[in-house]
Amino acid sequence: MMRVVINGEKKETTKYFLYDILKEFKIGGEVHIVNGFQVKEDLKIKENDALIIIEKGKIPDRDKLELMISARHTPNVFEKLKCARVGIAGLGGLGSNLAIALARTGVGNLVLVDYDVVEPSNLNRQSYFINHLGRPKTEALKEQISQINPYLNVEIQNCKVTQKNAAELFGGCQIVCEAFDVSQEKAMLVNTLLSEEKKIIIVAASGMAGYTSANDIKTQKKMSRLYVCGDLENEAKQGNGLMAPRVQVCAGHQANMVLRLLLGIEQP
Amino acid sequence: MKVNGSEILLKDSVNLQEFLEKHQYDTTKIAVEKNSEIIPKANYKEVMLSDTDVLEIVSFVGGG
């Protein structure tokens, strides 16, 4: 007898191969995910392996849906992300893409702060649609996340982040992503949170405008609690605008650093 | 003194504010860590620098 977990339920089986086990429990479905990895062929199953079997085109019960959304996460990663709390300051090109990436990754609690509404010039790089025009970015983003993973807790604050309210807004977060546009505001957030909060780690961004090589964008650990993603040079200015590819690369760097930190890895 | 990984010879006794101005940093766009401690902006004038200090100065450019 061997114990395995199929679609979240513990089962005992005498079989040792995936297809035999599925036959034994009369489970249909063409997508087979074993311990977070999709497999295309029959394979030997070990004690305590986690199997997720998905029928394409069928919408599963609500209680199974969360499990299936997280099926591609490596076991033990999901649990750590589920209880994490991450703040995002600014929901423009960096913040909106970053929020979507963290939501897809399964970060359980997100604090999203921005004072602005969606306008047409945002659509060249920010994760919003025509039907969001005129709506607060916080609400438009929360709506998108609920369509990606409805099991996440998304808290939104529709206000400008200042030296006075920054610590209060992000106090409960383990990590805060700096995703502002203006350099003075980037510096303000970093200075305020690092001075006033003794534990928060900041993942900031600097230098991602234009279309020079995306390979110049890096993640660097600059201070004991500050990581900076970007090329550190290419600022947004006349003749060097912000464009989706490099902004998304930079947001991806930030999201990956957040993920690494949540899993206990401090190296950039 | 070490600044962003490079050795710098401190000739006179200076405070952080003077040092940053002399090296043309825009203090509205930076964050400064001295010996692994963040220095709040309000304290720049009070913080005296010495030979053994390790400074990390991060400058931010706009865009996001």
Please report where in the chains the tokens 């203006």 appear, as a residue.
Answer: A182
Nearest-angstrom CA–CA distance, A19 and A16: 9
Please, which pLDDT band fits residue A231 given cuts at 50, 70 and 90? Answer: very high
ipTM of the modeled complex: 0.96
Query: Taking CB atoms and an 8 Å limit, are B63 and A207 in contact across chains?
Result: yes
Query: Taking CB atoms and an 8 Å limit, are A234 and B63 in contact across chains?
Result: yes
Query: Taking CB atoms and an 8 Å limit, are B58 and A226 in contact across chains?
Result: yes
CA distance A155 to chain B (A): 21
Q: What is the pLDDT of residues A25-51, one digit of tens each?
A: 999 898 999 998 999 999 999 999 999
Q: Is residue A268 part of a domain?
A: no
Residues A138/A117, Cβ–Cβ less than 8 Å: no
Question: Is residue A159 domain-shared with residue A249, that is, in the same domain?
Answer: yes
The pLDDT value recorded for residue A123 is 97
Out of A72, A89, A112, a domain closes at A72
Q: What is the pLDDT of residues A119-163, one digit of tens each?
A: 999 999 999 999 999 999 999 999 999 999 999 999 999 999 999
Domain B2-59 classified CATH 3.10.20.30?
yes
Question: Is residue A138 domain-shared with residue A173, that is, in the same domain?
Answer: yes
Between A66 and A108, name the one with better pLDDT: A108
Q: Taking Cα atoms as reference points, which of A114, A111, A103, A8 lies closest to residue A53?
A: A8
Q: How many CB pairs under 8 A join A and B?
A: 83
Question: Is residue A151 domain-shared with residue A258, that is, in the same domain?
Answer: yes
The pLDDT value recorded for residue A77 is 87
Please report where in the chains the tokens 């607060």 appear, as a residue.
Answer: A136
Please, which pLDDT band fits residue B52 given cuts at 50, 70 and 90? Answer: very high
Sheet of A85-89, strand order: A153-157, A109-113, A85-89, A175-178, A201-205, A226-230, A218-223
- The total of other beta-carbon atoms located within 10 Å of residue A167's CB is 14
**For the residues A212-235, what does the mean pLDDT come to?**
98
CA distance B12 to chain A (A): 26
To 10 degrees, what angle do helices A244-262 and A93-105 make? Answer: 40
Q: Is residue A57 part of a domain?
A: yes
**For the residues A75-82, what does the mean pLDDT come to?**
85
Question: Is residue A9 domain-shared with residue A87, that is, in the same domain?
Answer: no
- Which among B33, B60, B64 has the least Cβ separation from residue A187? B60
Question: Is residue A51 domain-shared with residue A141, that is, in the same domain?
Answer: no
The pLDDT value recorded for residue A24 is 94
Q: What are phi and psi of B20, to 5 degrees?
A: -65, -40
Question: Is residue A111 domain-shared with residue A52, that is, in the same domain?
Answer: no
Which of A50-59, A71-80, A180-189, A222-231 has the lowest average pLDDT? A71-80
The pLDDT value recorded for residue B12 is 83
The pLDDT value recorded for residue A63 is 72
Out of A36, A52, A72, a domain closes at A72
Q: What is the pLDDT of residues A102-131, one digit of tens each?
A: 999 999 999 999 999 999 999 999 999 999
- The verdict on B63 touching A (C-beta cutoff 8 Å) is yes
Question: Is residue A100 domain-shared with residue A46, that is, in the same domain?
Answer: no
Share above pLDDT 70 across residues of chain A, in percent, rounded to a whole number: 100
Indicate which CATH number applies to the domain containing A20.
3.10.20.30
Query: Taking CB atoms and an 8 Å limit, are B61 and A207 in contact across chains?
Result: yes
Q: Which domain holds residue A218?
A: 78-262
**For the residues A184-207, what does the mean pLDDT come to?**
98
The pLDDT value recorded for residue A94 is 98
Question: Is residue A68 domain-shared with residue A94, that is, in the same domain?
Answer: no
- Which among A194, A228, A235 has the least Cβ separation from residue B63? A235
Which chain A residues have a beta carbon less than 8 Å from that of B36? 223-224
Q: What's chain A's average pLDDT?
A: 95
CA distance A148 to chain B (A): 23
Q: What is the pLDDT of residues B1-14, one digit of tens each?
A: 999 999 999 888 89
Q: Is residue A205 part of a domain?
A: yes
Question: Is residue A59 domain-shared with residue A94, that is, in the same domain?
Answer: no
Both ends of chain B: CA-CA distance in Å? 33
The pLDDT value recorded for residue B13 is 87
Question: Is residue A42 domain-shared with residue A99, that is, in the same domain?
Answer: no
Which chain A residues have a beta carbon less than 8 Å from that of B3? none
**For the residues A203-225, what does the mean pLDDT come to?**
98
Q: How many domains does chain A have?
A: 2
The pLDDT value recorded for residue B6 is 96
Query: Taking CB atoms and an 8 Å limit, are B31 and A236 in contact across chains?
Result: no
Domains of chain B by residue range? 2-59
Which chain A residues have a beta carbon less than 8 Å from that of B56? 222-223
> Cα–Cα–Cα angle for B16, B19, B23, nearest 5°?
140
**For the residues A199-221, what does the mean pLDDT come to?**
98
The pLDDT value recorded for residue A70 is 81
The pLDDT value recorded for residue A66 is 81
Question: Is residue A50 domain-shared with residue A103, that is, in the same domain?
Answer: no
Which chain A residues have a beta carbon less than 8 Å from that of B60? 183, 186-187, 190, 204, 206
Q: What are phi and psi of A207, to 5 degrees?
A: 90, 90
Q: Which residues of A140-156 are buried (b: 16+ CB within 10 A; e: fewer)?
A: bbbebbeeebeebebeb
Indicate which CATH number applies to the domain containing A211.
3.40.50.720
Question: Is residue A132 domain-shared with residue A216, that is, in the same domain?
Answer: yes
**Identity of the amino acid at A83:** C
Out of A72, A88, A104, a domain closes at A72
